[in-house]
Structure 1
Amino acid sequence: MNDPVFFPVPAPVSVSQIAAWAEAEVVRGDPATLITGVAPLDAADHGTLVFLDNPRYASQLEETRAAACLVAKKYLSRVPDGVIPLLARDPYRSLAKVMGHLYAAAMRPQGAFDGGEAVVDPRAHVDPTAEIEAGVRIEAGAVVGPGVQVGSGTIIGANAVVAAGSRIGRDCSIGPNVTIQHALIGNRVILHPGVCIGQDGFGFAMGLEGHLKVPQIGRVVIQDDVEIGANTTVDRGANRDTIVGEGTKIDNQVQIGHNVVIGRHCVLVSQVGISGSATLNDYVAIGGQTGVNGHVTIGMGAQIAAVSVVRDDIPAGGRYGGVPAKPVRQWFREMAALQRLAEKGGAGKS
């Protein structure tokens, strides 16, 4: 078996150009030195760019053989001779900017036919009433229903389904096996493989006579520049819209219930579950495997630690964690007290 490289090595770029992209300062060394790729600290060799953001890896910086390193001021003294320090306010963010230039094809999924032309594959089924702008690529097996609108520059991957009446904006990437129904999707949205948008919310009137299904008649509205990870599900609203605000980034295997409103530039990590009618204001960040009860509100800029349960409203800017979630200082004190009690109880046993 051969060993393919899916993202080819970029053309050599000077350190001065890297510094301009990264908004970084060349502290010492030759700005004309050529960079031929990006590597981790411990695997770098001559010609590669590295970065240091986490102090855990500072010792690897001292041993790296890279050509240049994006680094914060506090680690400048640890950059070895022969490595060009590029002083950056936020090295990781600077690296993202550089890699966006070096590996432009990795910025959004390209579909099963990487780099294919903007055409409708004859093996796709597109209803004649669908409105498809010029420059759209629809891959084999995809189904586009009646009345659908798709904007230019969008890729609809193999075996994706876009159901009747849905709207997709421009320059979107709709991955293989994605299902979209009852949804309005903005521009530059990325839906990774297996995402399901707009299916029924979980609504039943429970009773001894049986659980009576409540029709879900709302929509899903996904605003511009949202990215949603593989196998995540976003239920349509029961009686109003489920909304995902612009710039929000959602990881793999997240569940978003009906009537949920997520603000702008939020971050939801893998396996988060948001119950119906919860509201997340702008810039909320939620760690992995956290559950949010229905009908609660999480204030702007709040942060919730991983593996927590949010059962009550969270104020703006709050930092919460635990089961149930509470202010992190209180949570840490409680955990420390429990540990002391456990140690005390164990000390008396022979």
Structure 2
Amino acid sequence: MEQNWFFPPHEGIRLGDLASQIGAELSDAAVAGQTVHAVAPVYRAKPGDVSYMLSRKSRDELKSCHASAIICDKTIASVVPSHIPVLLTSKPHTAFALAGALLHGEAMRPSYNTSERGIAPGAFVDPTARLEPGVEVEPSAVIGAGAEIGSGTRIAAGALIGPNVRIGRDCTISAGASILSALVGNSVIIHPGARIGQDGFGYAPGPSGGMIKIVQVGRVIIQDNVEIGANTTIDRGTMDDTVIGEGTKIDNLVQIGHNVRIGRYCGIVSQVGIAGSARIGDGVMIGGGAGVNGHISIGNGAQIAAMSGVASDVPAGERYGGIPARPMRDFLRDVAEMAMRASERQKKKGGKDE
């Protein structure tokens, strides 16, 4: 890959310092003073780069590797050539994430779109809005009446912050996002085009066969350290609140319906749809493209496989998959049985052709 001017290399961190900051042990103390500047995949890493390995499957990539260090577990350190220093850790994935944040801090949240700081001349901030010192508002952004925004928060170009919205400190609201009827905590990242706090999908049968809109007067509450992906939509509650718990990470193109409550430290992957009034516990992981029925509960620590259809409650700690979603062992058994039957049908068909 050519030099990446979007995310330029760091001025340099000593390997010894990097090891201590990511909780790793440097295999060769003699190189502790060498500096590293960037992260790179194993196969094209050059001097000054840090890479990581999670398994022996990457050993062939080491043939073209010239990294200044490789982060890995001690169980696979033996496959790393002796001329490449190793940063030993029992959690290489976590250590690499920490290293990336140190070497490429500017990539950890959406970057500035203009060179101006403070309140841009092209932004509109209602006179009744309250902004703490250090808030940045880029051109074409709109801050509505009575809104309150904490210090260190950046409102990017074209974003809309609706009336009376509250946003905490050190947040990033990216270009083109809109936030209505919401309370947002500290250190929240909302990526471009996300839609937060619009009314949910609620209708009652009309007297003449049509549908009558049900009023949506709840809020969206987003707790601290949440990240919400591009073009994700989170509807406000009907009469209660839609809640996204602390530390939860939501991918792009996710739909979260009204009154949904999502716990702390969940991971929700792209194109998941969660229908209204569902309850998602703490630490739940939901794979891409899964659908979650309304008015059901998914217990703490449960895992939902990609492309699953969750129609009923999922107990805490369980792994579910399939349509309808069921315990993973049952789902895999069903898949194996269907594959076996398909094979038998194919054999019979082949025999008739003969």
Q: Same fold (TM over 0.5)?
A: yes
State the partner residue of 1:196. 195
State the partner residue of 1:141. 140
State the partner residue of 1:263. 263
Deviations 1:262-285 (A, max 9, x none): 000000000000000000010000
- Farther off after superposition, 86-95 or 256-265: 86-95
Pair 1:154-2:157 in alignment: no
- RMSD over equivalenced CA pairs, Å: 1.5
* In 2, Cα distance between equivalents of 1:130 and 1:212: 34
Unmatched runs of 5 consecutive residues or more in structure 1: none
Q: Residues 296-307 of structure 1 correspond to what in structure 2 (within 5 A)?
A: 296-307=296-307
* In 1, Cα distance between equivalents of 2:149 and 2:36: 39
* In 1, Cα distance between equivalents of 2:336 and 2:311: 23
- Residue aligned with 1:74, SS: coil
- Residue aligned with 1:86, SS: strand
State the partner residue of 2:75. 74
* In 2, Cα distance between equivalents of 1:76 and 1:322: 38
Does the 8 A contact of 2:38 with 2:104 survive in 1? Answer: no
Question: What letter is aligned with 1:167?
Answer: R
Q: CA deviation at 1:55?
A: 4.6
* In 1, Cα distance between equivalents of 2:250 and 2:189: 10
Q: CA deviation at 1:45?
A: 1.4
* In 1, Cα distance between equivalents of 2:72 and 2:40: 14
TM-score (ref. length: structure 2): 0.95
Q: Residues 218-297 of structure 1 correspond to what in structure 2 (within 5 A)?
A: 218-297=218-297
Does the 8 A contact of 2:203 with 2:214 survive in 1? Answer: yes
Does the 8 A contact of 1:174 with 1:192 survive in 2? Answer: yes
TM-score (ref. length: structure 1): 0.96
State the partner residue of 2:58. 57
- Residue aligned with 2:93, SS: helix
Question: Percent identity over the alignment?
Answer: 46
State the partner residue of 1:95. 96
Deviations 1:103-143 (A, max 9, x none): 111121233126x42x1111111110000110000110011
Deviations 1:179-230 (A, max 9, x none): 1110000000000000000001000003552101001010000000000000
Q: CA deviation at 1:311?
A: 0.4
- Farther off after superposition, 163-172 or 102-111: 102-111
In structure 2, the CA distance between the partners of 1:55 and 1:198, relative to structure 1 (3 Å rule), is farther
- Residue aligned with 1:69, SS: strand
Does the 8 A contact of 1:311 with 1:324 survive in 2? Answer: yes
Does the 8 A contact of 1:111 with 1:156 survive in 2? Answer: no
Deviations 1:309-350 (A, max 9, x none): 000000000101111111111111111111111111111223
Q: CA deviation at 1:13?
A: 2.1
Q: CA deviation at 1:33?
A: 2.5
- Farther off after superposition, 48-57 or 75-84: 48-57
State the partner residue of 1:83. 84
Question: What letter is aligned with 2:12?
Answer: P
- Residue aligned with 1:93, SS: helix
* In 2, Cα distance between equivalents of 1:25 and 1:71: 10
Flag as ranges the 4+ runs of structure 1 deviating above 6 A. Answer: none
Pair 1:127-2:126 in alignment: yes
* In 2, Cα distance between equivalents of 1:345 and 1:335: 15
Q: CA deviation at 1:63?
A: 4.7
- Residue aligned with 1:201, SS: coil
In structure 2, the CA distance between the partners of 1:3 and 1:12, relative to structure 1 (3 Å rule), is closer
Aligned positions, number: 347
In structure 2, the CA distance between the partners of 1:249 and 1:55, relative to structure 1 (3 Å rule), is farther
Question: What letter is aligned with 1:346?
Answer: Q
- Farther off after superposition, 190-199 or 201-210: 201-210
* In 1, Cα distance between equivalents of 2:234 and 2:157: 20
Question: What letter is aligned with 1:288?
Answer: G
Q: Residues 25-64 of structure 1 correspond to what in structure 2 (within 5 A)?
A: 25-28=25-28, 30-61=31-62, 63-64=64-65
* In 1, Cα distance between equivalents of 2:139 and 2:101: 29
In structure 2, the CA distance between the partners of 1:335 and 1:276, relative to structure 1 (3 Å rule), is same
- Farther off after superposition, 32-41 or 288-297: 32-41
Deviations 1:51-95 (A, max 9, x none): 012554243235522121000122111111210011111111101
Pair 1:179-2:178 in alignment: yes
In structure 2, the CA distance between the partners of 1:230 and 1:96, relative to structure 1 (3 Å rule), is same
Question: What letter is aligned with 1:242?
Answer: T
Question: What letter is aligned with 2:53?
Answer: L
In structure 2, the CA distance between the partners of 1:108 and 1:227, relative to structure 1 (3 Å rule), is same
* In 1, Cα distance between equivalents of 2:55 and 2:291: 28
State the partner residue of 1:205. 204
* In 2, Cα distance between equivalents of 1:55 and 1:284: 29
* In 1, Cα distance between equivalents of 2:257 and 2:180: 15
Unmatched runs of 5 consecutive residues or more in structure 2: none
